[in-house]
Amino acid sequence: MDMLQAILAHPWFTPLLLTALIIGLFPLVAGYIVLVERKVLADMQVRLGPMRVGPHGLLQPIADALKLLLKEDIIPEESDKALFWFAPVISTFTALSAFCVIPFASGVYVADVNVGLLVISAMSSVGILGIVLGGWASNSHYSLLGALRSAAQLVSYEVALALALLSGVMAAGTLSMAGIVRAQQERHIWFIFDNYGLMLIPFVVYVISAVAETNRAPFDLPEAESELVAGFHTEYSGFRWALYFLAEYANIFVVSAVAVTLFLGGWLRPFPNVSWLELPFNYGFPALLFLLIGLGSLRLARKLTWRPHAIGMTGVGLFMILLAGVVLIPPVNAVVSSPFWFLIKVGGFVYLMIWLRGTFPRFRYDQLMNIGWKIMIPVALGAILLNAIVGMLRIS
């Protein structure tokens, strides 16, 4: 027992546990984000989406992963083999590395360094290399064009992204990710509502730039299937292709986490300083959410005709109802409520990105570059000045 406590209190315990959890679980999480994306898009297009593998397609990610693992991996004869091999590794490595400074709750992070936000910016910049090298090494016209587009697009929107983040940094006075959340707690405000609502401008600029930065629709020109086959990963197959996808979904998670940390209060629940709201927000909301998901699953299970699927869906429903009960236990709730709020906000942001993909048609390339250079960057610069002046008026 003493030894267990000694291990738990060791300064390396949380970082190492989180490292193992993030690297070990994120591929699975990414798979399920893909499933959610397919299901949500299907729903928007009035179809059902994956239904066969597991009840309502719940085991589809695992089947996909196994399929990709067993697929033949083709390296084109004329490609640059070493770069071809290494490019997806760079993409995955940089995308995953950005996770190391994300605070999931107070004290729950791999590291909290005073340049946290810069670490994430740096990693996402290096991530471009994986795409450019992959596209170039393939020695295929489609790949090269996709890679060039991706590079041009990323460098254009990266400036707007960094400028939009600046306004948040000004309000927080620190680059440490956990410090930014603590600043919001001390100021009793989410930074999106700061400066009498003017922070909404950099937030909107950030959201648009983040969608472009992650190569998501409506800015998915590097992989525009209607003109470039699959863009920079045309020649990639099997598990290397899966790594590119893992990197893309890791990037989506990271930009969402940065938006949540900087603008939406990170792990804080709504109104974190109003103590009587703890009961509805920390106990009521998660319990009700899991309970509703559980009851919904049970209802769906009744409609499934194939017995194994019905049993599986019932199991999911019962598990969710059990979760609803577990989060009501006070010691458990004290631990899980902060990560719950962080993840639910990130989840909302990821949903927004899927929603955008289901709603908007793809931009033309000149429109995309014009939006980046002629609208996003001037607006972001103006927002910095405006927020600097209004913020100074507010302080003094």
Instruction: Tell me the DSSP string of 42-100.
Output: HHHTT-----TTTGGGTTHHHHHHHHHHHS-----TTS-HHHHHHHHHHHHHHHHHGGG
Q: In 10 A of CB 64, how many CB atoms?
A: 17
If the CB atoms of residues 170 and 287 are measured against other proteins, the closer one turns out to be 170
Q: How many Cα atoms occupy the beta-carbon half-sphere of 267 within 13 Å?
A: 19
If the CB atoms of residues 219 and 341 are measured against other proteins, the closer one turns out to be 219
7 CB burial (10 A radius; 0-12, 13-18, 19+): exposed
Provide the sign of the torsion angle of the four alpha carbons 254, 258, 259, 264, taken in this order. Answer: positive
DSSP H helical segments within the chain, as ranges?
A: 2-9, 13-44, 60-70, 81-97, 116-138, 141-172, 177-187, 200-213, 225-228, 238-263, 278, 285-303, 307-326, 330-359, 365-370, 377-395
If the CB atoms of residues 220 and 235 are measured against other proteins, the closer one turns out to be 235
CB of 284 to other proteins, least distance (A): 35
CB of 258 to other proteins, least distance (A): 15
Torsions phi, psi of 252, nearest 5? -60, -45
CB of 134 to other proteins, least distance (A): 12
If the CB atoms of residues 118 and 304 are measured against other proteins, the closer one turns out to be 118
Return the exposure string of 191-222: e unless at least 16 CB atoms fall within 10 Å of the residue's CB, then b: bbbbbeebbebbbebbbbbbbbbbbbbbbbbb
Whats the size of the chain, residue-wise? 396
Q: What is the token pair recorded at 57?
A: 């397609």
If the CB atoms of residues 334 and 392 are measured against other proteins, the closer one turns out to be 392
If the CB atoms of residues 35 and 183 are measured against other proteins, the closer one turns out to be 183
If the CB atoms of residues 296 and 378 are measured against other proteins, the closer one turns out to be 378
* Spatial distance between the Cα atoms of 273 and 270, rounded to a whole number of angstroms: 9
Torsions phi, psi of 390, nearest 5? -65, -40
Find, among 334, 210, 223, the residue nearest to 283 by Cα: 334
CB of 119 to other proteins, least distance (A): 7
If the CB atoms of residues 160 and 354 are measured against other proteins, the closer one turns out to be 160
Give the CA angle between residues 108, 242, 251 to the nearest 5°.
40
CB of 192 to other proteins, least distance (A): 17
If the CB atoms of residues 287 and 377 are measured against other proteins, the closer one turns out to be 377
If the CB atoms of residues 54 and 116 are measured against other proteins, the closer one turns out to be 116
If the CB atoms of residues 316 and 383 are measured against other proteins, the closer one turns out to be 383
CB of 366 to other proteins, least distance (A): 4
CB of 384 to other proteins, least distance (A): 7
CB of 45 to other proteins, least distance (A): 28
CB of 335 to other proteins, least distance (A): 20
* Spatial distance between the Cα atoms of 158 and 165, rounded to a whole number of angstroms: 11
CB of 329 to other proteins, least distance (A): 30
CB of 307 to other proteins, least distance (A): 32
* Spatial distance between the Cα atoms of 143 and 182, rounded to a whole number of angstroms: 44
Find, among 156, 145, 135, 129, the residue nearest to 367 by Cα: 156
Q: Are 131 and 119 in contact (CB under 8 A)?
A: no
